[in-house]
Amino acid sequence: MSARKAFYVTTPIYYVNDAPHIGHAYTTVAGDVLTRWHRQRGEQVWYLTGTDEHGTKVERTAEANGMSPADWTHKLVHESWLPVLATLDVANDDFIRTTSGRHRHGVAVFWQRLKDNGYVYEDVYEGPYCVGCEEFKLPGDLIESSDGEQLCPIHSKPVEMLSERNWWFKLSAFTEPLLEHYKRHSHAVEPKSAYNEVVSFISSGLSDISMSRSAVSWGVPLPWDSDQVVYVWFDALLNYITAIGFGASPDTPEGERFDRIWPADVHLVGKDILRFHAVYWPAMLMAAELPLPRKVFAHGWLLVGGEKMSKTKLTGIAPSQITDTFGADAFRYYFMSAIHFGQDGSFSWEDMHARYTAELANGLGNLVSRATAMVVKYCDGILPEPGPYTNADRNLQDSLLAASERADSAMMRLDFSAGIAAIRGFVEAVNLYVTEQEPWKLAKDDEQTPRLHTVLYVMCESLRAIAVLYNAVMPAAMTSVWSRIGALPHLGPLAERDVTEVSRWGQLPPGALVAKGGALFPRIEETP
Ligand code: MSP
């Protein structure tokens, strides 16, 4: 491995109190698209996801299911959370579980360091706690129900009143350093609305916060007080460093990995957990004298009936309910293109079906089947040599250049829908080109054979570019296109093709063996 800093992307680690729904899948897919894109720019990439297994919420769920927390988390991770990665075609480099030895060790080392650095002291906590959020709530965070009960606004459930002696983290010491940091790094939290929210929260002054729980046993014990465990968020956030070797000595392979990967380039999070990632987490890192993440990106929620989709509210849809009908590629395409990353969005079967039919089955699928079928029919499946290019051919090459540049800059700023729109625009341009060039008419006139060959070459070479550009979003379908146009033996594996060189025309060599295949995106007649 080279010593070059890896581009490090993380998802939140998911609570294993239940099986994944498409809100969770949404973040994991976004991270996968982002990391595949960066890999195709020739960068070293590290993509981490995992599960958050300690705390009251998981402990109570296990109990309600008549199992020990250890058995319960093991079952859920293996039966639900790991399989969903395969369902969605996610190529993560690692999967961290907070119950693992490497994590628990790192957590103990970290908090001992903060205690040694003078940032941890003992006191009493009295106040509200939401088990759904696993969060000590501030009075201003709550809403009141019609019968006067204090509710968590996210879970619409009553908070619990805690009164316990525990250990505190001196968060207040970091008000000024954090404000200074965000003044200097105005892109460290995105989108802008999230940045503003974070800065205004910090500006109102930070209070110290409890970092341990005495009434909970399912967690990592404090190294200096084994009657208490680390508060679940202050255990979970550390996954981003324990997974890559924090806590190991610097001259071991794990320690070397930490130096090569940290800091994170992007922490992807839902907007509900922004404060943990953009306030508490950097303060913890400052206290430990570690570098801060370069960016926290807060995306919106998938909504059902105007509210956050959630298992608690019984509105969760399992990813397989969608992939069983549409496939993983269409799932990835739909959620990354139909919802602007950073804003809320609603899922509907009708919208998914309409976009699938128009953009994938008719738009892209049709282009692939027309191009390959015509090369098979008119040229025995051998990609012909192009003749001289006309303006129409050159215009298409220009639109590829523009589309690839737009796609790259959009993907780099996590604007997935704009990135996909740029690529889709090129697919539409190629379809228009085919309609105007009418290769099926050229095939009827022997004198037009050189022109027919040029048009067929342009179509397949365009598909070569489309496969490279869409690979991050739809890896399985694009790998199939790659093999249908005969690219693999000449150009090597698709995932290794650089997106920044995609517009260089003429990469697919004449003579490549082109084959037809089944429908890339089979028509789906009925919405389920
Ligand atoms: N365990 C914590 C995260 C710890 S990270 C150090 C947690 N887990 S969670 O399972 O409740 O949520 C994980 C992520 O899923 C969050 O980013 C959350 O925003 C996201 N989503 C949960 N429901 C969602 C939607 N309906 N829509 C989009 N994302 C949603 O919080």
Kindly give the distance from the C-alpha atom of residue 74 to the centroid of ligand 1, in angstroms, as a whole number: 20
Structure tokens at 61: 């769920």
Q: Using an 8 Å Cβ cutoff, are 16 and 72 in contact?
A: yes
The angle that helices 319-326 and 328-338 make with each other, rounded to 10 degrees, is 110
| Percentage helix, strand, coil for the chain under 3-state DSSP, each rounded to 5 | 50, 15, 35
pLDDT at 527: 54
| Ligand 1: residue whose CA is nearest its atom 13 | 14
Dihedral, CA of residue 455, residue 461, residue 465 and residue 468, to nearest 10: 140
Whether ligand 1 lies within 6 angstroms of the CB of 308 is answered as yes
| Stretch (H or E) spanning 230 | strand 225-230
Residues above pLDDT 90, as percent of the chain:
89
Whole-angstrom distance, CA of residue 182 vs CA of residue 325: 44
SS3 of 107-118: HHHHHHHHHHCC
Provide the percentage of residues in the chain whose pLDDT is more than 70. 98
Residue 104: CB atoms within 10 Å: 21
SS3 13: strand
Q: Is residue 394 part of a domain?
A: yes
Q: What is the pTM of this model?
A: 0.96
For residue 470, give the CATH number of its domain: 1.10.730.10
Q: Say which range, 126-140, 266-280, 285-299, 357-371, has the weakest mean pLDDT.
A: 126-140
Cβ 302 under 6 angstroms from ligand 1: yes
> Is 300 inside a domain boundary?
no
Phi (first) and psi of residue 312, to 5 degrees:
-55, -40
52-72: average pLDDT: 95
Q: Work out the average pLDDT over 107-125.
A: 97
For residue 15, being part of any structural domain is answered with no
Specify the amino acid at residue 393: D
Pocket lining: 14 vs ligand 1, CB cutoff 6 Å: yes
SS (H, E, C) 310-363: CCCCCCCCCHHHHHHHHCHHHHHHHHHHHCCCCCCEECCHHHHHHHHHHHHHHH
Query: What are 412-439's pLDDT values in tens digits?
Result: 999 999 999 999 999 999 999 999 999 9
Q: How is residue 283 written in tokens?
A: 């303060």
- Residue 28 within a domain: no
Residue type, 212: S
237 CA closest ligand 1 atom index? 6
Report how far residue 210's alpha carbon sits from residue 187's, in angstroms, rounded to the nearest whole number.
29
Active site residues: 21, 24, 130, 133, 152, 155, 308, 311
Task: Judge if the beta carbon of residue 24 lies within 6 A of ligand 1.
Answer: yes
The verdict on residue 148 lying in a domain is no
Protein residue whose Cα sits closest to atom 19 of ligand 1: 270
Dihedral-angle region of residue 156 (phi above 0 means left; psi in -120 to 50 means alpha; beta otherwise): left
Q: Report whether residue 237 contacts ligand 1, using a CB cutoff of 6 Å.
A: yes
Q: How many domains does the chain have?
A: 1
Residue 411 lies in a domain: yes
The pLDDT value given to residue 1: 44
Question: 8 near 96, Cβ under 8 Å?
Answer: no
- Domain for residue 235, yes or no? no
Residue 446 CB contacts under 8 Å (≥ 6 apart), including other chains: none
Cα 24 to middle of ligand 1, angstroms:
6
| DSSP code for 218 | S
- pLDDT of 315 reads 79
Q: Give the span between the Cα atoms of 225 and 247, in whole angstroms.
A: 19
Q: In this predicted model, what pLDDT tens digit does every residue of 317-368 receive, in sequence order?
A: 999 999 999 999 999 999 999 999 999 999 989 999 999 999 999 999 999 9
Domain span including residue 377: 349-501
- Each residue of 148-202: pLDDT tens digit? 889 998 888 899 999 999 999 999 999 999 999 999 999 999 999 999 999 999 9
Considering only 5-14, 68-77, 143-152, 349-358, which range has the smallest mean pLDDT? 143-152
Residue-level pLDDT at 264: 98
- The closest of 318, 331, 347 to 20, measured between CA atoms, is 318
Each residue's pLDDT tens digit, 190-204:
999 999 999 999 999
Distance CA 88, CA 33 (A): 11
Mean pLDDT of 141-147: 89
48 lines ligand 1 (CB under 6 A): no
pLDDT of residue 2: 47
Please compute Rg for the chain using Cα positions.
26
Residues in the chain: 528
Task: Find the 236 Cα to ligand 1 centroid distance in Å.
Answer: 12
Q: State in Å: Cα 36 to ligand 1 middle.
A: 22
* 2 CB-contact burial (10 Å; exposed 0-12 / middle 13-18 / buried 19+): exposed
Of 52, 99, 314, which is best to mutate to test ligand 1, by the most ligand atoms within 8 angstroms of its C-beta?
52
Pairing relation of β-strands 345-346 and 302-304? Answer: parallel
User: Hey, which of 11, 13, 27 would you mutate to test ligand 1's pocket, going by the most ligand atoms within 8 Å of its Cβ?
Assistant: 27
CA distance linking residue 55 with residue 502, whole number of Å: 48
**Tens of pLDDT, residues 400-416:** 999 999 999 999 999 99
Q: What is the average pLDDT score of the chain?
A: 95
Say if residue 306's pLDDT is above 90.
no
Tell me the per-residue pLDDT of 471-521, one tens digit each, with 9 for 90 and over: 999 999 999 999 999 999 999 999 999 999 999 999 999 999 999 999 999
Q: Positive or negative, the Cα torsion across 378, 379, 380, 381? A: negative
290 domain residue, yes or no: no
- Mean pLDDT value of segment 268-278: 97
Query: In a 3-state reduction of DSSP, which class is residue 381?
Result: coil
